[in-house]
Structure 1
Amino acid sequence: MVNDSADYSGVHMATPDLGHKQELGIEMRELHIPVSLAPGEPTEHEVYAELCVPADGAPTVVQVLLHGAIYNGTYWDFPYQPERYSYVDHMVSRGYATLNVDRIGNGRSTRPHSTRVDLDSNAFVIHQLVTALRDGSLGRPFERVVLAGHSYGTLVASRAAAVHGDVDALILTSALHTTSPAGAAAMGGNIAAYAASQEPKFAHLDDGYKTSKPGTRAEMLYLAENADPAVIALDEELKETVSFSEMAHLERWQTDDTTRGVAVPTLVAVGDHDIVWCGPDAVDCSTAESVRAAEAKYYAPEAQLEVFVLRDSGHDLNLQLNSDVWFAAATDWLAARARTWAPASEAH
């Protein structure tokens, strides 16, 4: 449990240049939120996050957006052609709030020694953010909190939900319980074996931080024929890190009962050409039914598991040319869940 007496008075808020967001009627604030990495430890680290809300509304539902390994929050709010690629803009324009997080060890968040950045510390940090969202410490209270994860962010979201039980729904993308041989080879050769410190912008990091080898992201993360080369080029420029400790917890997540501890409605989404999880020796991702058949045993009935498969997509659903199809599916699923939620007086 998070320390209920935790002091969030140190949260620093600033208003950045909104640019096109103002035109869309989106209010955005930058937050630097003090957190600890484990129960009982001091709040000596900071998480950077962007809180976006409709400027003309008071949303009761907030989505906490958790990027994957070797990414930061720009995955969810891509700066190139945001009208096509920004999940944040899509959701806030439809009445939801979003908290787009640079997970600990990435982006503008604190970068502890890599051995401290793992699945458990990530999940505990997110638990603290959920608490702050509910009690109003980040500017306003929210009645409902949804965690949306991409790739390793899915591991973090499901771990936080299972251990702390304080969210209302999960949107889990690009992470399944079986890794394909091609996926294992890609992660091993292109990430685990490549210390981030070999690149100038990460030169200050210890060698336990990894990143993708230059020029490997297109094949590993996209169905390239359905992607804009300009997106892939910017993705390379914006790339981030993953700790070896985080990578070591992937197999644990796939084999322990983490997701069986999830007791809230859950949407799993994957691209049909995701080489990390899909293939003849892994999961048949050709249909939602085939993915659900493979994944259902890892979830409890309370998860009410639903699956969406994005056609002609690799690992990065948000960054394919047809991302709008995926965004619409997530919106429809979340709207259906919201119709089943109890009145505000009965919320957490």
Structure 2
Amino acid sequence: MTRVSTFLSWLSAALLSGFNGSDHTCSEIILRVAATSQNVIFAKQPDPTNEQANLDFVADLWKGSPPELAGTTEVTGNFTLSATYCLPKSLPNPPTLQILVHGITYNKTIWSGLGFSPEKYNWHNHANTRGYATLAIDRLGHGLSSSPDLDPLLTIQPQLHLEILHQIISGARSGGLHVSLGKKFNRIIFTGHSYGSLLGAATANKYPLDIDALVLTGFSTSPNFATVAGAKWRSAPAIEPLRFGHRGHGHITMSDETERTDSSYGGRYDRAIAAADFKYGDTVTTGEFGAMFTMLTPAAGYKGPVLVVTGVDDKANCATPAEKCREILRKTGDEFFPNVRDYEFIAPQETGHNWMVHESAGATAGRVHDWLDRRVRGKVEL
């Protein structure tokens, strides 16, 4: 086992020990998924052995210059993903599963509140108390779902993420993941954050029948990359070889704690959480960045309910004052979900991008689950 696997296994175990309580139980599981995707080919590809070449590739994207593409190629394989799976003890056979999908430079531990105050920050705790099962995955190339055999440019792209998620959803519905989950689910809620929300919208576009309700957080159709564009990005293995030495230079991360905090936090939050966020931060691949713009397509075929949750102080996706943020989120519904039967948004004040670890997290989680109870009825089917 690599040092990074040992580290993340310890962290996951520590988080589990903090929120296995009387009302819910959680476990670390492995998902084995066969998937095939049409990944993009980049006309100019950075030298995988050259850190600066990979950083320059990403810098051009922040400047609004998506890379030139040279077609597509089929990527197929059997992929192993790590996940945290939680069930409410008060409802031993919950009909509804929330699939939790993290953003870039994060992994599944963000949904556990990074180990801080389960009553306030742990999304599993909030959902399980309301009768929903939860499955937080480490996306391919992140957390414990990483392997040196995965090409960060040509393999770990949003196209493959989307197909893996489709297979997970299909397996959860059909019972194909019975070995891992122990049951099948009647309804699926996709709950994403940031890049995970982009993947949720893309799933709703390509596979509109996969999802019974869509909760997109840290998301809008008016992104502002200024904060992260000017940040000090570095190759992850170059700055943290003990944690990321098994990954190539195509895995990059933010190297300055202040810049990471400024981009992800705002308003009222615990500074100790922001420090832990930087300490346990993950990576993003050049392929995830490079192919991101190919996924920005409205989900015209999706007709289920959509809830967007984005903090007013989310520098990447909203703007102050609060009414300006609300207008951005209203526009998001018009632009990305023109045919849904129910679109709503929540714009928590004094809350930045990582809304689930801000002081408003508990109240916001309650509002989200009130909405889900009305739309999906996950709680009442005993």
Distance 1:134 1:240 in 2: 30
Write the deviation string for residues 68-124 of structure 1: whole angstroms up to 9, x where unpaired. 111011111121222211011111011110001111110011342112111111111
Change (3 A) 1:340 1:242: closer
**Residue aligned with 1:158, SS:** helix
Match of 1:28 in 2: 26
Write the deviation string for residues 198-249 of structure 1: whole angstroms up to 9, x where unpaired. 22211221111111122122101001x5111110111111100111221223
Distance 1:16 1:279 in 2: 37
Match of 2:171 in 1: 132
The structural deviation recorded for 1:335 is: 0.7
Structure 1, unpaired ranges of 5+: 1-14
Distance 2:24 2:189 in 1: 19
Q: Is the 8 A contact 2:312 2:319 kept in 1?
A: no
Distance 2:17 2:255 in 1: 32
TM-score (norm 1): 0.84
TM-score (norm 2): 0.77
Aligned residue runs from structure 1 range 153-168, under 5 A: 153-165=196-208, 166-168=210-212
Match of 1:313 in 2: 351
Match of 2:339 in 1: 301
Match of 1:207 in 2: 249
Matched, 1:260 2:300: yes
Change (3 A) 1:203 1:249: same
Q: Is the 8 A contact 2:84 2:135 kept in 1?
A: yes
Aligned residue runs from structure 1 range 157-236, under 5 A: 157-165=200-208, 166-180=210-224, 184-190=225-231, 193-198=233-238, 199-200=240-241, 201-215=243-257, 216-223=259-266, 225-236=267-278
Match of 1:93 in 2: 129
Q: Is the 8 A contact 2:104 2:283 kept in 1?
A: yes
Q: Identity over the aligned pairs, expressed in percent? A: 27
Higher relative contact order (CA 8 A, sep 6+): 2
Q: Is the 8 A contact 1:65 1:149 kept in 2?
A: yes
Change (3 A) 1:285 1:197: farther
Match of 1:327 among 361, 365, 370: 365
Distance 1:244 1:64 in 2: 25
Question: What is the aligned length?
Answer: 320
Distance 1:22 1:313 in 2: 28
Q: Is the 8 A contact 1:51 1:97 kept in 2?
A: yes
Structure 2, unpaired ranges of 5+: 1-11, 38-73
Q: Is the 8 A contact 2:305 2:343 kept in 1?
A: yes
Change (3 A) 1:51 1:297: same
